[in-house]
Structure 1
Amino acid sequence: MTTPQDELLPGTRRALLHRIALAQSEGRAPSLVAAVVRGGKAVWTGARTSVEGHAPDESVQYRIGSITKTFTAVLVLRLRDEGVLDLADPLEKHLPGTGVGEATLAELLAHSGGLAAETPGPWWERTPGSLRPGLADVLGERPSAHPVGRHFHYSNPGYALLGALVEKLRGAPWEEVLRREVLEPLGLRRTTVRAQAPHAGGWAVHPWADVMLPEPLEDLGVMAPAGQLWSTSGDLARFAAFLAEGDDRVLNAGSLREMRTPAAPVEAADVASGYAYCLGMELRHRHGRALVGHTGSLPGFLACLTISLADDVSAVVLANCTSGPAPFTVAADLVRIVAEAEPRLPAPWKPSREVEPALLELVGQWYWGTSAFVLRLSADGLVSLEPLTGNGRRSRFRPEGDGTWVGLEGYYAGESLKPVRRPDGSLSHLDLGSFVFTRQPYDEAAPVPGGVDPAGWRGVG
């Protein structure tokens, strides 16, 4: 089943359907639904099922597991943007008495707070939340597994703490705050804490026989902020568009860029696999693409939401089985199919508006020692510094309003770029965090650390 869309070519839609059909068949999933987003809206939806004539659509709920963490992270970033907290604050400042208050809020968001991966037994995903009525019950007697800030160690209890933080600072239950501040503004009407019909049932498929067993649908209690939500492919498609573009009613584009930026120490195994954790989002690399989003699982369900910002393509995959299909692999393939079959058209070139002569004086070729760089001014008001040949440090810079610029990425992120002028007002050189860039290699008229040999440039013999 697919929903016909004019936005994608028939061949692309057929390739997308084939990919999810393969995933449902080989993964032995009772059902699997998917959506592809481009240009801020869903351009394709599809589903496969083992029940003839009853394929789910984009309005059928599935449990999304740890994708819930991304929703919780959005709530924490909202509090930061309002000035209620700072991500560098220790948890103890806002939620005292947990016993793990040394960890900062950023470390909890990035799973580098040193907390254990799971709660004390019994397994929280398969037992009622009533067995763990408070935070002490999800942390246990030994809540930490590593020193704070030293390792990336995925922690479900860490997000229970963040949910409790939201409740304390907002004075309302986590689910009520989520509905009011995120779900309603974004129009996610089919995303709920508890299942609402129509919804899929969760199943375990026998590994060596084609038979199934129903999985329990437990209420997770205080662990809800780590994995409780139910949603649909339609709602998650809208959420993916928000995560890529921002919405000032919920979280602006700058804060979402921060959420998508790696924030946890990267382990050697993760370097090899191209995996990094951000603030409530995962960054993975597949098919030469950087894909940011989150996966999720609970007994009976698998889920993935992933975004390729460079391609302006996102994908959502949901299945109602405990194991079988690999949702991230499928979602990454859906992104690849669209990106390769129908690559994003570049935005039309447009000239800048009126530009001050002092800005134009900055652009062009510069030298750091003998290394050649070029400084360009773009229509968005940013300047970019990049090497003319080969690899080298590069960054875009944002004007600060006082004649200086601040780096936005890479080695120069946060560093100050300052044009330095001579007493007569003419441009002498650029000072970038004490690095001197001159119009000629080792310009004699500009300050160059170490000085210039008075004999000047020379050949051999």
Structure 2
Amino acid sequence: MTSGPGAHDRLDRLVRRVQADARVPAVSAALHRVDRPLWTRTVGGTGTDSALGPRTQFRIGSVTKTFTAVLTLQCRDDGLLDLDDPVGRHLDLPAHGELTVRRLLSHTGGLQREPFGDVWDTLAAPDAERLVAELARAERVLPSGRRFHYSNLGMAVLGLLVARLRGGSWAEVLTERVLTPLGLTDTTVTPLEAAATGFLVDAYSDEAHPEPPTDFGAVGPAAQLWSTATDMARWAAFLADPAALDPSGAVLAPGTLDEMRWPLTTTDETLWGAGFGLGLILIPQGERVVHVGHDGAMPGFLAAVYGRRGGDGTPGAMGAAVLGSSGTATELLDLPHRLLAEAVEHDPAEIEPWRPGAPAPAALRGVLGRWWGEGFEYVFSWHDGTLRARGAADPAGRPPAVFAPLPDRPDVFRTVSGREVGELLRLTRDDAGTVVRMHWATYRFTRHQETFDRYDFRAGG
């Protein structure tokens, strides 16, 4: 960071405090942002002969699900599936094939949490053949679409789906289509030599007991991966701001990430503190800021990986990751959110100066200014080469509606973001070519306030 040791010290102390208070044998943290050098901090020891450093691997558990979700959306974008397809259209399954891809991605399919059997007692995960064969013994614990219910089994089925459609193993497809293009070279399916050991720290003493290593087999698409905080901070930045890290859309189009980040369900019906999109956890931070990513837990390890979107002072491609070698130190899970907020508060992005731009096209200059619709006032303007609209009383942080012209209809526009996204805006001109009326989402817009039966208050009727 360019703001000097003070900014470093704040982040350092947050990491050190959590490591000490939560008694975590090893913590690795990283913060990625487009306008500063990568920041990293490690505290503790690996539990092996290898020194702890930024390239030390940790188990990231369910953060793996975000990768499987991206692979699934790649298949959709390539025309290999539709999100509302039943998975049985693409996989030969003995049961639950009617569940849709969208339901499995958003954990609203109602499928039981784990594969059939006591996998956490035996630590013997099924292979693909057994996982499929035992689907008939897995319960549908809730009706599909009823509510959020987290399911590792559902994500494992999506991993089988991706492998089937791409003609390779899930691990091969992941490496080829995500890890290599994004330069995530320290993210692997099996641990490298310098990986940290995971521990269970005794609640009533300072003993840290090593947890056994596990291979999640066919459930790997839900929780198998190992990685570093530096790789995961970059991945979090990609989830929040893909255009900055993948400008060509080689991994996934920014619009598809927008779709994945849209909340499809809340995780608690009375406390709307977190939501789920398509494989992504969404945690609102207030003031139109959201953190997007995932947490992960495996025996001996916890991970939290989140990117930041929105808000004053948030730089591009901002992501934070915290990985720890304790399976019970849940204080780790809040740390990336604190790192992101602290960095923005004390080292915000630079304020870009305003510069004059090109004028609005002559045919649209008569549209600019104030219009009335449904009894409310709106302001139409031209900025950054696009026609936009805002409610006159909208708070400053609310995004405007943005319109794109239809190529074959010069006076018709599609709303591409903001209020009434997807709806049409139609301009009506008089004989002189002046825009005298507009219809947006079929509602009439006029220069002066009117009732629905066209009583004009200014004209007196």
Q: Unpaired segments of 5 or more residues in structure 1? A: 1-5, 443-447
Q: Distance in 2 between matches of 1:296 and 1:326?
A: 13
1:387 maps to what in 2?
A: 392
1:335 maps to what in 2?
A: 340
Alignment of 1:440 with 2:440, yes or no, is no
Q: Give the deviation of 1:410 after TM superposition.
A: 5.3
Contact 1:65/1:226 (8 A) holds in 2:
yes
Contact 1:7/1:43 (8 A) holds in 2:
no
Identical-pair percentage? 34
* Mapping 1:33-52, distance limit 5 Å: 33-39=28-34, 43-49=38-44
Secondary structure at the residue paired with 1:186? coil
Q: Give the deviation of 1:220 after TM superposition.
A: 0.6
Deviates more, 1:388-397 or 1:97-106: 388-397
Deviates more, 1:401-410 or 1:103-112: 401-410
Contact 2:54/2:230 (8 A) holds in 1:
yes
Q: Give the deviation of 1:135 after TM superposition.
A: 2.6
2:259 maps to what in 1?
A: 258
Residue identity matched to 2:251: V
Q: Distance in 2 between matches of 1:371 and 1:160?
A: 50
Secondary structure at the residue paired with 1:13? helix
Contact 1:28/1:325 (8 A) holds in 2:
no
Q: Give the deviation of 1:368 after TM superposition.
A: 1.6
Q: 1:201 pairs with 189, 197, 200, which one?
A: 197
Residue identity matched to 1:181: R
| CA offset digits 1:114-162 (Å, max 9, x no partner) | 2112223313486022477533366452431111122111111110010
Contact 1:395/1:408 (8 A) holds in 2:
no
Contact 1:77/1:255 (8 A) holds in 2:
yes
Residue identity matched to 2:423: E
2:279 maps to what in 1?
A: 280
Q: Distance in 2 between matches of 1:389 and 1:240?
A: 31
Q: Distance in 2 between matches of 1:381 and 1:390?
A: 21
Alignment of 1:420 with 2:428, yes or no, is yes
Q: How well do the aligned residues superpose, as a CA RMSD in angstroms?
A: 2.7
Contact 1:126/1:216 (8 A) holds in 2:
no
* Mapping 1:46-125, distance limit 5 Å: 46-49=41-44, 56-124=52-120
Secondary structure at the residue paired with 1:361? helix
- Give the direction of change, closer, same or farther, for the CA distance of 1:66–1:126 in structure 2 (3 Å limit): farther
1:165 maps to what in 2?
A: 161
Q: 1:322 pairs with 318, 327, 342, which one?
A: 327
Q: Give the deviation of 1:412 after TM superposition.
A: 0.9
1:237 maps to what in 2?
A: 233
1:430 maps to what in 2?
A: 438
Equivalenced residue count is: 446
Contact 1:366/1:374 (8 A) holds in 2:
yes
- Give the direction of change, closer, same or farther, for the CA distance of 1:163–1:98 in structure 2 (3 Å limit): farther
Residue identity matched to 2:62: S
Q: Distance in 1 between matches of 2:237 and 2:394?
A: 36
2:299 maps to what in 1?
A: 299
Q: Give the TM-score, by structure 1 length.
A: 0.89
Contact 1:421/1:428 (8 A) holds in 2:
yes
- Give the direction of change, closer, same or farther, for the CA distance of 1:267–1:411 in structure 2 (3 Å limit): farther
| CA offset digits 1:12-52 (Å, max 9, x no partner) | 10010100001101111001010011117752100110579
Q: Give the deviation of 1:173 after TM superposition.
A: 0.3
2:355 maps to what in 1?
A: 350
Residue identity matched to 1:218: T
- Give the direction of change, closer, same or farther, for the CA distance of 1:40–1:293 in structure 2 (3 Å limit): farther
- Give the direction of change, closer, same or farther, for the CA distance of 1:96–1:269 in structure 2 (3 Å limit): farther
Contact 1:295/1:327 (8 A) holds in 2:
no
Q: Unpaired segments of 5 or more residues in structure 2? A: none
Q: Distance in 2 between matches of 1:371 and 1:406?
A: 21
Alignment of 1:228 with 2:224, yes or no, is yes
Q: 1:175 pairs with 161, 171, 180, which one?
A: 171
